[in-house]
């Protein structure tokens, strides 16, 4: 007898047990179940018709439906995006909206973003003051673009510069963009990141270098870290602030510090927090010891220094994708927010921080970092190797800088 001509009927004593029967057999009488004979027959499960429905037509329908969903996803996303959680919370929680209400958006400050580039044709970048562009990946300097397969550079730029459908953290800064990373996010050449950093401060004369990137803190990947570290220290010596991602290795017990170059003493290393203010589980953990000197790290240079929103942050991607927006998570996002906050700090207090020669000296840089540590939302508590001194509060940071300057 073929299986499609069988039916399964529950046993009267244990209805979870099914018995294969001839569909023409009378089966158990209804009285065995406390129901009529007709109701007893309705308890049977017809395997044949169900099998015929599921195969092949059920499988075919599922496959077609999946393909159609993938093809139509950009249009579906466009409809559901307005009802998905936005990232306004990140700007509100960090104090950006409060300080922007006083008219501060980073004007007059020059930031260099070293990443995979930027899709400058995105509507969110209309009117952006793009001062310079340089490609250290393949030296195609006439084509302003994003070479990243996930458009990482455009995502990071959108968090700072967006000014149409949503407002970024510091949309009025002047910006220089350096491509130093390839499509997969790795350095194009062994010295491409270092070359980009030098271009930022020597050629572009920027105030801040934002590095949403990093390498293994133990230097296992070779010269990338050492050459990058040299370039970063050169920029710091010249009075240029460097903000770098702590890294996304928080659950990797084999990684014993924040990423390079975030682990350099004077760099501001940034970890990531979630919407409810908790440290993101993947945010890298700092070390009490400075690997470059072998000495214990001291306030306000313990790593990481600060955390900022970095989980499910809405931002821009390539205009080749419709709609050209997406969510991302990581300390890269948090880094851009801290770089933006620092731009606003320099917009407000830059004249007082700069010396007679118009530059930022090491004393002023130390003051800014000390104010950052004191202004964090967890101020008053000791440094934490994952949460740093606490979560970014740009308003409090500005107030603490003002206090320090008036001492």
* Model confidence pLDDT, tens digit, residues 269-312: 999 999 999 999 999 999 999 987 889 999 999 999 999 999 99
* Residue 115, C-beta contacts closer than 8 angstroms, at least 6 positions apart: 148, 152, 153, 156, 157, 177, 178, 179, 180, 181, 212, 213
Q: Give tens-digit pLDDT for 110-127.
A: 999 999 999 999 999 999
Higher pLDDT, 104 or 74: 104
Report the percentage of the chain scoring pLDDT > 70.
77
Q: Residue 199 corresponds to which tokens in the numbers above? A: 């271009």
Annotated catalytic residue 186: no
CATH topology for 95-405? Rossmann fold (3.40.50)
Q: What is the mean pLDDT of residues 201-228?
A: 81
From 2-11, 169-178, 260-269, 322-331, the region with the lowest mean pLDDT: 2-11
Please pick, among 332, 339, 376, 398, the residue that the annotation labels catalytic: 332
Please pick, among 152, 207, 210, 375, the residue that the annotation labels catalytic: 152
Q: What is the pLDDT confidence band of residue 232, given thresholds at 50, 70 and 90?
A: very high
Delimit the domains of the chain by residue range: 1-84, 95-405
What pLDDT, on a 0 to 100 scale, did the predictor assign at position 246? 97
At which residue do the structure tokens 């999946």 appear?
66
Q: Give tens-digit pLDDT for 236-265.
A: 999 999 999 999 999 888 889 999 999 999
Of 10-24, 250-264, 308-322, highest mean pLDDT: 308-322
Annotated catalytic residue 115: yes
What pLDDT, on a 0 to 100 scale, did the predictor assign at position 10? 63
d(CA 206, CA 112): 6
What pLDDT, on a 0 to 100 scale, did the predictor assign at position 220? 47
What pLDDT, on a 0 to 100 scale, did the predictor assign at position 132? 98
Q: What is the mean pLDDT of residues 127-135?
A: 98
Please pick, among 87, 94, 110, 115, the residue that the annotation labels catalytic: 115
d(CA 161, CA 172): 7
H or E element, residue 46: strand 45-46
Q: What is the mean pLDDT of residues 321-333?
A: 95
Q: What is the pLDDT confidence band of residue 1, given thresholds at 50, 70 and 90?
A: very low
Count of residues in the chain: 407
What pLDDT, on a 0 to 100 scale, did the predictor assign at position 217? 83
Annotated catalytic residue 383: no
Count Cβ neighbours within 10 Å for each residue of 196-224 and write b for 16 or more, e otherwise.
bbbbbbeebebbbbbbbbbbbbeeeeeeb
Closest CA to 353 of 335, 330, 369, 377: 369
Residue 221 has pLDDT above 50, yes or no: no
């Amino acid at each position: 007898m073929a299986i499609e001509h069988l039916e399964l009927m529950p046993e009267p004593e244990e209805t979870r047990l099914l018995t294969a029967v001839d569909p023409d057999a009378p089966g158990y009488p209804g009285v065995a179940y406390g129901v009529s004979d007709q109701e007893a027959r309705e308890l049977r499960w017809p395997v044949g018709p169900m099998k015929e429905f599921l195969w092949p037509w059920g499988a075919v329908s599922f496959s077609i439906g999946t393909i159609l969903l993938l093809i139509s996803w950009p249009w579906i996303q466009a409809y559901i995006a307005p009802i998905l959680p936005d990232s306004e919370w990140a700007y509100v929680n960090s104090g950006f909206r409060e300080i922007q209400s006083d008219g501060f958006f980073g004007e007059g400050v020059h930031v260099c973003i070293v990443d995979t580039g930027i899709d400058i044709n995105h509507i969110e970048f209309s009117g952006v003051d793009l001062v310079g562009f340089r490609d250290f990946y393949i030296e195609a300097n006439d084509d302003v673009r994003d070479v990243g397969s996930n458009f990482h550079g455009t995502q990071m730029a959108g968090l700072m510069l967006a000014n149409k459908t949503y407002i970024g953290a510091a949309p009025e800064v002047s910006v220089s963009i350096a491509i130093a990373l390839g499509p997969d996010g790795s350095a194009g050449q062994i010295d491409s990141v270092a070359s980009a950093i030098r271009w930022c401060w020597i050629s572009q004369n920027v105030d801040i270098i934002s590095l949403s990137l990093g390498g293994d803190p133990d230097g296992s990947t070779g010269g990338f870290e050492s050459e990058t570290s040299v370039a970063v220290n050169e920029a710091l010596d010249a009075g240029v602030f460097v903000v770098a991602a702590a890294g996304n290795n928080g659950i990797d017990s084999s990684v014993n510090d924040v990423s390079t170059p975030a682990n350099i003493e004077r760099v501001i290393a940034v970890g990531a927090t979630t919407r409810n203010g908790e440290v993101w589980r993947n945010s890298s953990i700092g070390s009490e010891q400075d690997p470059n000197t072998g000495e214990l790290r001291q306030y306000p240079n313990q790593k990481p220094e600060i955390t900022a929103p970095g989980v499910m942050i809405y931002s821009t991607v390539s205009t080749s994708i419709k709609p050209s927006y997406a969510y991302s998570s990581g300390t890269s996002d948090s880094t851009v927010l801290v770089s933006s906050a620092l731009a606003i700090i320099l917009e407000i207090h830059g004249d007082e921080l700069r010396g007679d020669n118009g530059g930022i000296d090491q004393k002023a840089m130390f003051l800014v970092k000390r104010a950052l540590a004191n202004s964090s939302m967890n101020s008053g508590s000791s440094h934490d190797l994952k949460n740093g001194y606490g979560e970014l509060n740009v308003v409090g940071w500005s107030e603490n800088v003002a206090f320090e300057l008036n001492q």
